[in-house]
Amino acid sequence: MSDVKTAPDWLTADVLDYLHRVAYDFHVRAFGEEMARVNFLPLAERRRYVAEMIDHALRKGVKFDKPALGVTP
């Protein structure tokens, strides 16, 4: 028995394009245009971009003494 799974008939290229647009639009609303673009980069490029953002922040004097809690008090 083969473990190869085939896509359903309704999952056409047009449907995949639509789903990708919906996911991208969600990321734009949730994170903004720049981070939405970064979220859809390949992993190596995404890591490089985030490292550049951190380096830029350090050059501008941002201190990373406090942990990132994910909320603004």
pLDDT confidence of residue 1: 55
How far is 33 from 29, CA to CA, in rounded Å? 8
Mapped onto helix, strand or coil, the DSSP state of residue 32 is coil
Q: How confident is the model at residue 35 (pLDDT cuts 50, 70, 90)?
A: very high
Q: Is 5 helix (H, G, I), strand (E, B) or coil?
A: coil
Q: Two tokens at 23?
A: 């996911």
* Mean pLDDT across 25-31: 96
0.75 cut: is pTM over it?
no
Please report which confidence band the pLDDT of residue 69 belongs to, taking 50, 70 and 90 as the band edges: confident
The mean pLDDT value for 24-53 works out to 95
Side-chain-side CA neighbours of 26 within 13 Å: the count stands at 7
Domain residue spans of the chain: 13-59
Cα 41 → chain centroid = 7
